Chain A
Amino acid sequence: MTTTEAGLRSLVLPDRVHGSLYTDDEIYARELERIWYTTWVYVGHASEIPEPNDYVRKTIGPQQVVMTRDKSGAIHVLHNRCSHRGNLVCDADRGNAGSFRCPYHGWTFANTGDLLGFPFNQGYGGSRARAELPGLGAAPRVESYRGFVFASLASEGPTLHEHLGAAAERLDRLCRLSPEGEVELTAGWIRHEVTANWKMLVENETDGYHPQFVHSSIFSISGSGIGALYSDRSTAVTRALGGGHTENDLSPEFRKLGVPMGWAGTPEAKIPEYVAAMRSAYGTRTGDEIMINGSPHVMIFPNLFVAEIQLFQIQPLAVDRTVQHVTAIQFKGAPDLNRRLVTQCVGSVGPAGMLLADDAEMYERNQRGVAQRQPEWLDLTRGLHRERVDEDGYTIGTATDETSMRAMWRHYLELMETEPAGARPSEES
């Protein structure tokens, strides 16, 4: 390996990173082992499999997994690979089934991953062989927080609670926007593929410097106030939440607006049922406060991005190929708001989205750019001189500072330098 610890340390510096971090296959292979197959990765949401025996196909980086709910209600994350000859056992995108039968030789697995049976069992000395033969590979650790299901393919490591840290409160903030305190991901997914390294996306998600330039075409004609949130005069801050998680905290600007749902650009009169439900659930004062403060804009490392009204799941497929799965966030008990969110989200995201198509163009231009030889480095110094620590102890910068990128890279280096303990998927349960 050319990407030794010393090598990486010389590529990720506090104020700049080397272009090869986006293009080198060996570095990418190490990222899969030490980040994607070790740390907690967002897999899916409990609302996607609400009933016993529901399942949905999901991904952990390039790995295909099936997220299942067994008949007792417990959630499992299973590798989509028959333990006999390695065939894919599940081909439907979603469904309801207590078991999966491999089409190749008929081995059958419960939705917990356990091997249930195999045809012509005398070939294995009878049905009792079931106890010795392996079931489906399963993520050794699966935990959820407020319905957000995460998995770690390492059997040991920090707990999900430790991993999320302050980011958990951002999910709380999101869920509070539902009068029932829950979000649902029921609007289906757009899958938008870009020819770019996954970290281009992660960095961009909380880069407050780009919107005025990348999105000026739509801001200038739609009268959107989003551009102003990311200007030199904005009171919004960029915050490093620890653990590589970062946010653009726009709530100071939303509070300046001081209008319930002002953050969403939706006048109260357009969603009377939602506003009434919020006030009745939380009381007028707290309800209004929640609706004024708005939704978070948080990047939960390495792959969950909540951008106010939409949720992105980032999936690397190769060093220069990444898919963003995106859906409109739906708030439980808010049908009138939810319809508006779908409409708004569909206009913004995906291959034809009036915002995201242009972000995607930047990722791809960047990927082609970093393949050029000079000047080798990407600069991360913006706002370094004015970075400070807020009252809660988090490092913050202004709305347009690169505080978030520097924090992401610090955490990245830490993970990449750590030999994973117990990183192998459990052999047999």
Chain B
Amino acid sequence: MTSVDVGIDLREAEQFLYREARLADVFALEEWEALWTDDAVYHVPVDPDADPRTHMSIVFDNRGRIATRIKQLQTGRRHSQRPPSRLCRSVTNVEVVGVEGDDTVVTSVVQILESRDRGRTWWVGRATHRLRRVDGELRMAAKTVVLVDSDRSLPTMSFLI
């Protein structure tokens, strides 16, 4: 059970995560959305051990809701992103931790500085990506970000984490 089985090695995984991070930072919305598979799940839990179907999450989007989230940003009337947050994030501690079916599971640490009129917010969490090769291109089938303070009081976070 190594990443070689499906041909996604650490270097390729890292390059994908860096690209995804940059697209989210600069609000390259269409390109970011195109990274998802059709069965995608985008999840920012409150309690990572709770069942998201029966418990509150900060984000729990299927593919359809990811599209809605993007469209909402594209209206230009998503007030909490007007003007858009200024973002710069770093992705570190990348590990290819396993293969499940067609997917390679990659974990990382993400740190994001968000600057808005209200001030600066420092967001830190552990991310898990499920990466899959679809028609020769890497895609993400799932992304979960567990914020360090996910169950504490959080300010508005309406950018793409």
What residues of chain A have their CB less than 8 Å away from a CB belonging to chain B?
93, 186-195, 214, 216-218, 220-222, 323, 326-328, 338-339, 342-343, 345-347, 350-352, 354, 357-358, 360-362, 364, 368
Give, as a whole number of angstroms, the nearest-CB distance from A76 to chain B: 24
Whether B71 contacts A192 by the Cβ 8 Å rule is no
Whether A193 contacts B154 by the Cβ 8 Å rule is yes
Q: Could you write out 7 A-B pairs with CB less than 8 Å apart?
A: A187-B55, A221-B72, A342-B56, A351-B158, A354-B69, A358-B79, A361-B156
Whether A339 contacts B151 by the Cβ 8 Å rule is no
Whether A217 contacts B56 by the Cβ 8 Å rule is no
Beyond A217-B72, A342-B54, A350-B154: 5 further Cβ-contacts under 8 Å?
A: A342-B53, A350-B58, A351-B155, A351-B158, A358-B78
Whether A351 contacts B68 by the Cβ 8 Å rule is no
Measured in the bound complex, the distance between the Cα atoms of B52 and A342 in whole Å is: 8
* Closest Cβ neighbor of A317 among chain B residues: B153
Measured in the bound complex, the distance between the Cα atoms of B55 and A189 in whole Å is: 8
Whether B117 contacts A327 by the Cβ 8 Å rule is no
* Residues of B close to A328: CB separation below 8 A: 56
Residue B60 is within 8 A (CB to CB) of chain A in the complex? yes
What residues of chain B have their CB less than 8 Å away from a CB belonging to chain A?
44, 46-47, 50, 52-61, 65, 68-69, 71-72, 75-80, 82, 117-119, 151-158, 161
Whether B69 contacts A190 by the Cβ 8 Å rule is no
Whether A193 contacts B155 by the Cβ 8 Å rule is yes
Whether B80 contacts A361 by the Cβ 8 Å rule is yes
Measured in the bound complex, the distance between the Cα atoms of B62 and A346 in whole Å is: 12
Q: Please report the number of residue pairs spanning A and B whose Cβ atoms sit closer than 8 angstroms.
A: 111
Q: Which one of B54, B72, B76, B151 lies within 8 Å of A218 (CB-CB)?
A: B72
* Residues of A close to B69: CB separation below 8 A: 354
Whether A190 contacts B158 by the Cβ 8 Å rule is no
Q: Which one of B47, B59, B77 lies within 8 Å of A352 (CB-CB)?
A: B59
Interface pairs A-B: 4 shortest CB-CB:
A217-B77, A193-B153, A361-B80, A351-B157
Measured in the bound complex, the distance between the Cα atoms of B153 and A192 in whole Å is: 5
* Closest Cβ neighbor of B75 among chain A residues: A217
* Residues of B close to A189: CB separation below 8 A: 46, 56
* Residues of A close to B47: CB separation below 8 A: 188
Whether A354 contacts B75 by the Cβ 8 Å rule is no
Measured in the bound complex, the distance between the Cα atoms of B147 and A206 in whole Å is: 32
Q: Which one of A195, A216, A342 lies within 8 Å of B118 (CB-CB)?
A: A195
Whether A346 contacts B56 by the Cβ 8 Å rule is yes
* Closest Cβ neighbor of A310 among chain B residues: B56
Whether B56 contacts A191 by the Cβ 8 Å rule is no
* Closest Cβ neighbor of B152 among chain A residues: A191
Whether B72 contacts A354 by the Cβ 8 Å rule is yes
* Residues of A close to B57: CB separation below 8 A: 346
* Closest Cβ neighbor of A222 among chain B residues: B68
Measured in the bound complex, the distance between the Cα atoms of B77 and A188 in whole Å is: 30
The interface centre, meaning the residue of A217, A222, A342, A343 with most chain B CB atoms within 10 A of its CB, is A217
The interface centre, meaning the residue of B59, B71, B153, B154 with most chain A CB atoms within 10 A of its CB, is B153
Whether A217 contacts B78 by the Cβ 8 Å rule is yes
Give, as a whole number of angstroms, the nearest-CB distance from B129 to chain A: 18
Whether A191 contacts B153 by the Cβ 8 Å rule is yes
The interface centre, meaning the residue of A186, A192, A221, A362 with most chain B CB atoms within 10 A of its CB, is A221
* Closest Cβ neighbor of A321 among chain B residues: B153
Whether A188 contacts B46 by the Cβ 8 Å rule is yes
* Closest Cβ neighbor of B76 among chain A residues: A217
* Residues of A close to B71: CB separation below 8 A: 221
Measured in the bound complex, the distance between the Cα atoms of B77 and A360 in whole Å is: 14
Measured in the bound complex, the distance between the Cα atoms of B51 and A338 in whole Å is: 13
**Given A217-B75, A221-B72, residue A192 in contact with residue B154 (CB < 8 A):** yes
* Residues of A close to B52: CB separation below 8 A: 346
Give, as a whole number of angstroms, the nearest-CB distance from B18 to chain A: 23
Measured in the bound complex, the distance between the Cα atoms of B82 and A223 in whole Å is: 22
Give, as a whole number of angstroms, the nearest-CB distance from A402 to chain B: 21
Measured in the bound complex, the distance between the Cα atoms of B75 and A323 in whole Å is: 28
* Residues of B close to A192: CB separation below 8 A: 153-156
* Residues of A close to B59: CB separation below 8 A: 346, 352
Whether B80 contacts A360 by the Cβ 8 Å rule is yes
Measured in the bound complex, the distance between the Cα atoms of B71 and A222 in whole Å is: 9
Give, as a whole number of angstroms, the nearest-CB distance from B146 to chain A: 14
Whether A191 contacts B79 by the Cβ 8 Å rule is no
Measured in the bound complex, the distance between the Cα atoms of B145 and A359 in whole Å is: 24
Whether A352 contacts B56 by the Cβ 8 Å rule is no
* Residues of B close to A221: CB separation below 8 A: 68, 71-72, 75
Q: Which one of A191, A195, A357 lies within 8 Å of B158 (CB-CB)?
A: A357
**Given A190-B46, A195-B118, residue A354 in contact with residue B79 (CB < 8 A):** no
Measured in the bound complex, the distance between the Cα atoms of B56 and A368 in whole Å is: 30
Give, as a whole number of angstroms, the nearest-CB distance from A293 to chain B: 26
Give, as a whole number of angstroms, the nearest-CB distance from A413 to chain B: 30
Give, as a whole number of angstroms, the nearest-CB distance from A301 to chain B: 22
Whether A346 contacts B60 by the Cβ 8 Å rule is yes
* Residues of B close to A347: CB separation below 8 A: 61, 65, 68
* Residues of A close to B76: CB separation below 8 A: 217
Measured in the bound complex, the distance between the Cα atoms of B155 and A323 in whole Å is: 9
Whether B44 contacts A352 by the Cβ 8 Å rule is yes
